[in-house]
Amino acid sequence: MDANTSSVTAVAQAAGVFTSFQDWKGVEHTIPETTQRAVLAALGISPEVVCDPWEEPLPSCVTVRQNQGGILNVQVNAGTDAAVAFEFEDGGSMAARQVENNLADRNVGGRWRGQASFHIPAGLPLGYHQARLTTEGISFATRLIVTPDVVPLPDVLTRSRVWGIMAQLYSVISHVSWGIGDFADLAELARWAAGLGADYVLINPIHAGDWTTPVGNSPYLPSSRLFISPLYIRPETAPGYTELPAAQRERIAEIKLGVLTATLTAARIERDTAWLAKRAALHIVFEAGVPEQLRAEFAEFCASKGDSLTHFAAWCVFSELFAGDWRDWEPMLRHPTSSQRAKLLAEHASEIAFVKWLQWVADREWAAAQAAAKTAGMRIGIVTDLAVGVSRSGADTWMFSELYASNVTLGVPPDAYNQLGQEWGQSPWRPDRMAALGYQPFIDVIRAALTHAGGVRIDHILGDFRSWWVPTGLPPSEGTYLRGDYETMIGIIALEAARAGVVVIGEDLGTSEPWVQNYLSERGMLGTSVLWFERAAAGTKPPEQWRELCLASLTTHDMAPVAGYLRFEQVRIRHELGLLTESLATEISAAEAEQVSWLGLLQERGLIAETDSVSDIVVALYRALLLAPSKMLCVALVDAVGDRRMQNQPGTFDEYPNWRVWLSDEQGQRVYIDDLANLELPQRLAAAMNTIKAT
């Protein structure tokens, strides 16, 4: 240890806690020791108590790439024999070959330990296997994960490039939906987009949110990433609705009329109003019973979800019975397997069954939307979005409370999005406990995201490499990074994507280490390129120089649509909310220079004239996007209708109407799915984007 390095810093570095980092401007920052201690405490590590990894016979989890293989090191009592066998998930097995290891024995807590090494050969079958160590007649096992070296691209992306539509589903409504976008709207949106020539629709996360009101607005702060938000169900499409007596259908119509009346002139999306109405209507359908021909399907669905579905349903019911944050409930209720749970489940069996039924219905409707997209001609279909984490007070943290770190939240340090940094209100996973579980919770989350999808966008995939932990009570700027086991996390994503035959898009925007983008490309995952962020040393990076393995777009849900961007809406909003560290004039000047640079490129390419309108510039910018070699190009629906307002201002909660903005035109008038076919700008954009099929 360097003489100038404190014991806290040494322990932090050994645990993967960053003690310094470079910010978005390239400035080096040293992490205060108080932050290091707080993050170590969240990991259950005391700088005064040093644990020797040789105490454990096996690592918690082992990951190798299929065509590379690796070495498994095991620790046994010195002088004893060791044998290792690999047990495959299909039932087969093979003995491992021991290889030379010349490390000296080590005294660990008064006991001499030795290390032996075993060869993990290349070419093992992909999957989740076990490595079993036998020594002194005792057997120990750990999970062995064999992942693809590269995620194979879906056939369509090996033959051609594609374009699609990006939309925030909750904001896209029809005249017959319930004041918020739903799966039936998604199916209709996909049919419309397919008719224009699009091959996919990228939507926001559809994870389960709060069961009781107030319902959280952010789809990126869900209650659970294992289950689906029933807010996206349309009651009239639920199984059994058409068989209801006329009186009950009339009652549902009355409930719907009430929510439509309440939301018709609402300035913002009212999730509470929509959820309470839908829940009442759906309960009427549920009480009528599952149609006989679908009972086996419902039973099979529940069985396939196992205990996790029962736990999730219990959290929903308990959250209504006891209200508030589950961390404030009686101690006996803070865990899904408490002794009081069985009694409460029996007392509220009907409510538990209702939650399970809703998940089944939501799953069927999501599947129907994907089927509609494919039937309409989309070659990829629905691309879902995986949120980076979950609410601290949600179902997942209740179901797996020991898996999450306490007294810290996830976020990001100051950057161009928010110069004060961001704190997201999400509890991070403890890497040690995730590894001890063989990463099964992470596997389950990835599988849930891919259930009925042609692809998945992984929000802030950079967090798999290093995540920004903010200790409770400190501002986001005073957090630090924690190194993740990216080889395992990315490997699991690759394995699940390969098995599902889907494309993976990693949202790799923001401050990252320079090698991360190359790593993702090497693993066959698409990165994310946004026109305004593509910069080179000399200024604007021409689209021709962008990455091939990426999804290219002009904007994101965290930015103003192009019509707003051109009017500096994003700068003005951040100024009004006090999120700038520079003056408004300075930021406007920087934004003007950025726009002049891109408009100059458009003029050089002959894509725009000086007198063109805003809509002409929008089309020209998308034509510039076509010059990129990127495999996937993305048109934001907000750009196609002329919307100016951003869906979310990072780093804010109620200061801005995040995730509550209707899809609107340039004048701020609500745009319905039914209106899209009559608009000129989407047709112009589609005509431009369809030239991709000739390249």
φ, ψ dihedrals at 558, nearest 5°: -95, 10
pLDDT in tens, 113-147: 999 999 999 999 999 999 999 999 999 999 999 99
> Is 547 within a domain?
yes
Q: Mean of the pLDDT values across residues 579-585?
A: 84
Contacts (Cβ under 8 Å, ≥6 apart) of 413: 21, 23, 24, 421, 468, 476, 477, 479, 511
Q: Which amino acid is at 474?
A: L
Peptide bond into 291 cis (omega under 30): no
Most confident of 188-202, 258-272, 525-539: 188-202
Number of folded domains in the chain?
Answer: 2
Contact (CB, 8 A) for 680 and 641: no
Which of these ranges, 158-172, 430-444, 559-573, has the smallest mean pLDDT?
559-573
**Rounded-to-integer distance, Cα 165 and Cα 547, Å:** 20
Let me know whether 544 and 473 are in one domain.
Answer: yes
pLDDT over 70 (residue 606):
yes
**Rounded-to-integer distance, Cα 620 and Cα 610, Å:** 12
| Mean pLDDT score of the chain | 93
Residue tagged 């700068």 (tokens) = 571
Let me know whether 124 and 174 are in one domain.
Answer: no
Question: How many helices (H) and strands (E) would you count in the chain?
Answer: 21, 27
Q: Mean of the pLDDT values across residues 259-281?
A: 95
- Residue 481, SS3? strand
pLDDT in tens, 152-211: 999 999 999 999 999 999 999 999 999 999 999 999 999 999 999 999 999 999 999 999
Contact (CB, 8 A) for 68 and 121: no
pLDDT over 90 (residue 6):
no
The dihedral sign for the CA sequence 155, 161, 165, 169: positive
Let me know whether 219 and 85 are in one domain.
Answer: no
Q: Which residue range forms the structural domain that includes residue 102?
A: 53-147
**Between 28 and 594, whose confidence is greater?**
28
The pLDDT score that the predictor gives to residue 4 is 47
**Rounded-to-integer distance, Cα 560 and Cα 350, Å:** 45
**Rounded-to-integer distance, Cα 449 and Cα 455, Å:** 9
Let me know whether 401 and 448 are in one domain.
Answer: yes
Query: Which residue, among 16, 144, 148, 145, has the nearest Cα to 74 in the 3D structure?
Result: 144
- For 528-538, give one letter per residue: b (16+ CB within 10 A) or e: bbbbbebeeee
Query: Which residue, among 439, 648, 685, has the nearest Cα to 560 in the 3D structure?
Result: 648
Contact (CB, 8 A) for 397 and 208: no
> Is 585 within a domain?
yes
**Rounded-to-integer distance, Cα 113 and Cα 372, Å:** 61
Distances (CA, A) of 514 to 24, 242, 508, 509, 588: 12, 56, 11, 12, 28
Local structure of residue 152 (DSSP, 8 states): P
Let me know whether 475 and 510 are in one domain.
Answer: yes
**Between 609 and 601, whose confidence is greater?**
601
Q: Which of 117, 147, 177 is the last residue of a domain?
A: 147
Q: Is 483 exposed, middle or buried (0-12, 13-18, 19+ CB in 10 A)?
A: middle
> Is 498 within a domain?
yes
Let me know whether 61 and 182 are in one domain.
Answer: no
> Is 235 within a domain?
no
pLDDT over 60 (residue 1):
no
Strand partners, 275: none
- Residue 433, SS3? helix
> Is 657 within a domain?
yes
The pLDDT score that the predictor gives to residue 268 is 94
The pLDDT score that the predictor gives to residue 215 is 95
The pLDDT score that the predictor gives to residue 511 is 81
> Is 339 within a domain?
no
**Rounded-to-integer distance, Cα 404 and Cα 390, Å:** 10
> Is 240 within a domain?
no
Which of these ranges, 375-384, 500-509, 592-601, has the smallest mean pLDDT?
592-601
CATH number at residue 224: 3.20.20.80
pLDDT over 60 (residue 326):
yes
Distances (CA, A) of 462 to 26, 403, 493, 510, 527: 17, 20, 13, 8, 10
Neighbours of 22 (CB within 10 A): 12
Q: Which amino acid is at 498?
A: A
pLDDT in tens, 63-76: 999 999 999 999 99
Let me know whether 386 and 524 are in one domain.
Answer: yes
Which of these ranges, 53-62, 196-205, 418-427, has the smallest mean pLDDT?
418-427
**Rounded-to-integer distance, Cα 505 and Cα 449, Å:** 13
Which of these ranges, 367-381, 461-475, 604-618, has the smallest mean pLDDT?
604-618
Let me know whether 114 and 194 are in one domain.
Answer: no
| Parallel, antiparallel or unpaired: strands 111-120 and 70-77 | antiparallel
- Residue 71, SS3? strand
Let me know whether 482 and 523 are in one domain.
Answer: yes
Q: Which of 88, 117, 147 is the last residue of a domain?
A: 147
**Rounded-to-integer distance, Cα 654 and Cα 661, Å:** 13
Let me know whether 515 and 561 are in one domain.
Answer: yes
Q: Which of 79, 112, 147 is the last residue of a domain?
A: 147
Q: Which amino acid is at 365?
A: E
The pLDDT score that the predictor gives to residue 694 is 65
Distances (CA, A) of 372 to 196, 236, 376, 406, 483: 15, 17, 6, 43, 41
Let me know whether 86 and 175 are in one domain.
Answer: no
pLDDT in tens, 214-242: 999 999 999 999 999 999 999 999 999 99
Contact (CB, 8 A) for 241 and 256: no
φ, ψ dihedrals at 321, nearest 5°: -70, -40
The pLDDT score that the predictor gives to residue 695 is 60
Let me know whether 77 and 215 are in one domain.
Answer: no
Predicted structure pTM score: 0.94
> Is 407 within a domain?
yes
CATH number at residue 78: 2.60.40.10
The pLDDT score that the predictor gives to residue 324 is 85
Contact (CB, 8 A) for 372 and 190: yes
Contact (CB, 8 A) for 159 and 338: no
**Rounded-to-integer distance, Cα 416 and Cα 560, Å:** 14
DSSP string computed for 525-566: -BEEEEGGG-EETTEEPPGGGS-SSEEEES--TTS--HHHHT
Q: Mean of the pLDDT values across residues 286-297?
A: 97
